[in-house]
Amino acid sequence: MPFSTHPNYAALWSILRRTKPTNALIAITVALIICATGLSLWVPLLTKAWLDNLSATQQFSWSALFGLAAALIGGGILSGVQYHQLGKLGNLQKRNLRNELFDHVVNLPIAFFDRTLSGEPANRIVKDTEIIEDLVSNQTASMLSGLLQLLGSFFILWFLDWRLTAVLFLAIVLSFLAILPFTAKLAAISKQQQDSEASLMANLTEWFAQIRLLRSATAHSQINQEVQCKVKQLFTLAMQEVRTVAMMSPLVNTAIMASIIAVLGFGATLVAKQQMTIGTFVAFIMFLLNIVFPVMQLSLFAAAFNKAAGAALRLAELFAEPKRHLGNLQLKIAGQDIQLHNLNFGYDNNAAVLKGLDMTLAAGKTTAIVALSGGGKSTLFALLQGFYQAKQGAIYIGTDNLAEADLDHYLAQTGYVAQDAPVLSGTLRDNLVLGLDALPSAEQLTSALNDADLYEFVSTLPQGLETFVGERGVTLSGGQRQRLALARCLLRKPNLLLLDEVTANLDALSETRIQHALAQAAQGRTTLIAAHRLSTILSADCIYVMEFGKIIGQGNHNALMQQLPQYKQLIDKQFRLEQQNSYDS
């Protein structure tokens, strides 16, 4: 298959071009490689001249020796500078690639993350970029200078003695052809290894993050088996690689030794017959080494190249994922009614979740939505945050369609508190100021903490807001996490408040305080609250009742109790539960 049409190679080419450092830097590096290689080709010629002069005149030429030493030192300095430049080139490429990849992945639609283990893109950003960097920093230089040395050496050798060169050329071509099938096999194995490693890494990341679940579900042996199976698969691939190298290496070594012996034998005969000078013969041997190493490097390069091509294909697949749709309409939420018009939505793999949903969130008012669990409330919140696009219908902010909005500008005006109140590792303060453009003052922080009923808890901590909360906030209780999320939300001073069962994890006392804070926070703000507690429902200006993704009624509590039996049932059930809870506590 031609280079450009092989998917891996085409991907590698496009990735390298996409994130390449400046042309000037590339040109300087290539020039350095050419100069360093030129010098290394010159050294055997200087040696030959020195030796021939020595054997012809029996006089030790210091000037020739100094010339030789100067060429050697110059070559050393050049190769140091070349190494530095190549390292810079490769690392710049890696830096650009990582930045671009992260920017791309972080902007992918939420649906991508629904179907992908989060360790996967992380692995690509860290590991695959490393493989490409190795190709640029190390392998390409070796290959380029190796190739130049190979061609240059052959060219010079041809003029030194074409018969000996012909023998050498034949030996090299035969060796190269012999190892070609092995390098192809190694490339295929390497691709499978990378895929399997990436998959194991993604699984391990998730399993360690969910270690409590695994332990309480006593899933150790089950997971153990899965890990063993994947590790075995990696072992099998590694052994295939070992066997291939075990067959290839002796072949390469034997071929090299045979070439050297053939050239030495033939060369020695020519010297004995005085058809070749001793200087030419020594230069020949030096050139021979100049050729042998590049040939070995070329086979290494082929493996590294194929490995990088595999990595590039995975990166190209990631880049090919379309980014989330971002319009450029700068919406203003404050003072605008929000209309959800005939919303139809289903997740990629599932049946319809929202079926022709119509709803209005009046500006500055609190709207409650009541539904059974699984009814689609969280999905509605996700759509209101632009995480997914409706299959049909639209969300209008005033008269503007949310689908055309600059989502980040819109989301900066919203505050969302989720049921499970996610928290990041870091300090309490880090979590509070997440996403804020301007850092809040101490008073603003205290006021938000007070409003979220978190102030007292923070005061009991020796390190206060600088307390670390562990991965996903494991050192906090469910209620504390929820109050932290609420405080974070309040600090944003949002115009649209989206509260998804915020009080679900709170005790009765905390809930009463939060209710008050929520009522205050909701003042003058457009608020949608998924409610399951009677007190929350009663505080709303308008209540919508949702069943199987459809609105089946709306109004105030009293009207709904009289007119909608489904609502009465839900409330009765909830009321019984709440009474039960209050007896229990």
Closer of 57 and 350 to ligand ADP (Cβ): 350
CB of 533 to ligand ADP, least distance (A): 15
Is 554 an interacting residue with respect to ligand ADP (CB under 6 A)? no
Contact flags string 338-377 toward ligand ADP, x per CB under 6 A: ---------x--x--x-----------------x-xxxxx
Between 182 and 381, name the residue whose CB sits nearer to ligand ADP: 381
Nearest distance from C-beta of residue 359 to ligand ADP, angstroms: 14
C-alpha to C-alpha distance for 467 and 428, rounded to whole angstroms: 6
* CB of 115 or CB of 212, closer to ligand ADP: 115
Q: How far apart are CA 480 and CA 461, in angstroms?
A: 13
The yes or no reply on residue 532 touching ligand ADP (CB under 6 A) is: no
Q: Who contacts 439 (Cβ-Cβ below 8 Å, separation ≥6)?
A: 433
R_g of the chain, CA atoms, integer Å = 35
Distance of closest approach, residue 374 Cβ to ligand ADP, in angstroms: 5
Structure tokens, 401? 């369609």
What is the nearest approach in angstroms of ligand ADP to the Cβ of residue 212? 22
Q: In what order do the strands lie in the sheet with 392-397?
A: 352-361, 338-346, 392-397, 400-401
- Nearest approach in angstroms of CB 380 to ligand ADP is 7
Q: Exposed (0-12), middle (13-18) or buried (19+): which is 131, by Cβ within 10 Å?
A: buried
Q: Which is nearer to ligand ADP, 123 or 419 (CB)?
A: 419
Query: Strand order in 496-500's β-sheet?
Result: 414-417, 496-500, 526-530, 366-371, 542-547, 550-555
Closest distance of CB 86 from ligand ADP, Å? 45
Q: Which is nearer to ligand ADP, 51 or 354 (CB)?
A: 354
- Least distance in Å: CB of 114 to ligand ADP? 4
Is residue 386 at the binding interface for ligand ADP, with CB under 6 A as the rule? Answer: no
Q: Residue 17 or residue 115: which is nearer to ligand ADP going by CB? A: 115
CB of 580 to ligand ADP, least distance (A): 21
CA distance 346 to 390: 8
Please answer whether residues 33 and 139 qualify as being in contact, where contact means their C-beta atoms are separated by less than 8 angstroms: no
Interface of this chain with ligand ADP, residues 512 to 531, rule: CB under 6 A: none
Confirm if 356 and 344 have CB atoms less than 8 A apart. yes
**What is the Cα–Cα distance from 396 to 526, expressed in whole angstroms?**
14
Q: Counting contacts by CB under 6 A, is residue 543 touching ligand ADP?
A: no
Is 541 within 8 Å of 365 (Cβ atoms)? Answer: yes
**Using CA atoms, how far apart are residues 353 and 344, in angstroms rounded to an integer?**
8
The residue count for binding ligand ADP (CB under 6 A) is: 12
Contacts of 469 (CB under 8 A, 6+ apart): 423, 425, 426, 427, 428, 431, 475, 476, 484
For residue 524, what is the DSSP state?
T
Quick one: 175 or 379, whose CB is closer to ligand ADP?
379
H helix or E strand, kind and range, residue 359: strand 352-361
Comparing CB distances to ligand ADP, the nearer of 291 and 546 is 546
Chain position carrying tokens 């303060």: 429
Least separation, in Å, of the C-beta of 347 and ligand ADP? 3
Per DSSP, the chain holds a count of helices (H) and strands (E) of: 21, 10
Is 505 a binding residue for ligand ADP by CB under 6 A? The answer is no
Within 8 A by CB and 6+ apart from 70, the residues are: none
Among 210, 378, 467, 475, binds ligand ADP (CB under 6 A): 378
Q: At what angle do helices 442-451 and 478-491 cross, to 10 degrees?
A: 130
Residue 441 in the binding site for ligand ADP (CB under 6 A)? no
CB of 375 to ligand ADP, least distance (A): 4
**Which residue pairs, CB below 8 angstroms and at least 24 apart, start in 105-108?**
105/318, 107/323, 107/324, 107/326, 108/321, 108/322, 108/323, 108/324
Determine which residue in the list 129, 299, 379, 539 makes contact with ligand ADP, applying CB under 6 A.
379
503 touching ligand ADP, by CB under 6 A: no
Closest to ligand ADP by CB, 376 vs 479, is: 376
Whichever of 143 and 371 has its CB closer to ligand ADP, that residue is 371
Q: How far is CA 305 from CA 87, 88, 183, 188, 492, in A?
A: 17, 19, 11, 12, 49
Question: Smaller CB distance to ligand ADP: residue 224 or 392?
Answer: 392
**Closest distance between ligand ADP and the C-beta of residue 128, in Å?**
27
Min dist CB 538 to ligand ADP, Å, is 20
CA atoms within a 13 Å half-sphere pointing along the CA-CB vector of 68: 15
Nearer to ligand ADP, 21 or 109 (CB): 109
For ligand ADP, which is the closer residue by CB, 138 or 378? 378
Contact map string, positions 104 to 143, toward ligand ADP, x by CB under 6 A? ----------x-----------------------------
Give whichever of 310 and 549 is closer to ligand ADP, judged by the CB atom.
Answer: 549
User: Least distance to ligand ADP from the beta carbon of 528, Å?
Assistant: 12
Single-letter code of the amino acid located at 571: I
471 binds ligand ADP (CB under 6 A): no
The SS3 of residue 193 is helix
Q: How far is the CB of 529 from ligand ADP (least distance, A)?
A: 13
Stretch 296-335: interaction string toward ligand ADP, x if CB under 6 A: ----------------------------------------
User: Which residues contact ligand ADP by CB under 6 A?
Assistant: 114, 347, 350, 353, 371, 373-379
